[in-house]
Structure 1
Amino acid sequence: MSFAYLLALLISLTGMVVLDRRFGLFFWRAPRAAAVVLAVGVVFFLAWDLIGITTGIFYRGVTSFMTGLLLAPELPVEEVFFLTFLCYLFMNALQGARMLLERRRTP
């Protein structure tokens, strides 16, 4: 059992929080709305994963970098952290792009 992948995900999530805080992108712009959007995104992708698992499309790859802890058959605990990171990354990138475009439009 290794925590390398989980640690990498937690470090990456910390980076998202630092960027968000520094530039006021997502949670520091509208905390309640951000929490709802992030939760809906993670739940959506978890449901997607569960559908893929039950239909036999998705399966858990075995690697020495993961904890081996499962939330459900074929659903490792790291998946929740990955999906959280993915959604947070997208929302930070989207808001950052919006801010840059606004800055270019303003003389």
Structure 2
Amino acid sequence: MRFAYAAVLLVSIAGMLVLDRRHRLVVFAAPLRALAVLTIGVGFFLVWDLAGIGLRIFFVGDGPYQSGVRLAPELPIEEVGFLLLLCHLALVLAAVAERVRRARRGAGAGE
């Protein structure tokens, strides 16, 4: 059970990529731009996490589902997967919202 959380994160990331690929939303629409934005987003939140750890705001609790692997004190490796999922989800939701907006604008133009 040690890697359960990491496994769930990987399955979730895979699901987001399948959805992304099916509708060509982010990564499969503009791979280089998506990689840049995801790198910046994950990097920003990792710096945020490190600042919170340094200020003793964030810490890792004991849980049977965590791998126990740390990138730094109080920074579990699963955090990178979570941040990647979070950033990709935000980009996918923004892309979907933009498509809905365009579809509504296009449908309204013919009336």
Determine if the TM-score, normalized by the shorter chain, exceeds 0.5.
yes
**Counterparts of 1:97 and 1:11, CA distance in 2:** 24
What does 1:2-81 correspond to in 2, within 5 Å?
2-81=2-81
Gaps of 5+ in 1: none
**Counterparts of 2:72 and 2:106, CA distance in 1:** 50
Larger Rg computed on CA atoms: 2
2:106 corresponds in structure 1 to 106
Gaps of 5+ in 2: none
Deviations 1:5-40 (A, max 9, x none): 000000000011001001110011111110000000
2:93 corresponds in structure 1 to 93
Residue 49 of structure 1 aligns to which amino acid in structure 2? Answer: D
Instruction: Report the number of matched residues.
Output: 107
Residue 81 of structure 1 aligns to which amino acid in structure 2? Answer: G
Residue 11 of structure 2 aligns to which amino acid in structure 1? Answer: I
- Give the TM-score of the pair, scaled to structure 1: 0.97
CA apart distance, 1:83? 0.3
**Counterparts of 2:62 and 2:32, CA distance in 1:** 37
**Counterparts of 1:91 and 1:64, CA distance in 2:** 31
Residue 66 of structure 1 aligns to which amino acid in structure 2? Answer: Q
**DSSP 3-state at the match of 1:106:** helix
Deviations 1:24-75 (A, max 9, x none): 1001111111000000000000000000000101001210001000000000
**Counterparts of 1:65 and 1:82, CA distance in 2:** 14
Report runs of 4+ in structure 1 exceeding 3 Å deviation.
none
**Counterparts of 2:28 and 2:103, CA distance in 1:** 19
Identity %: 48
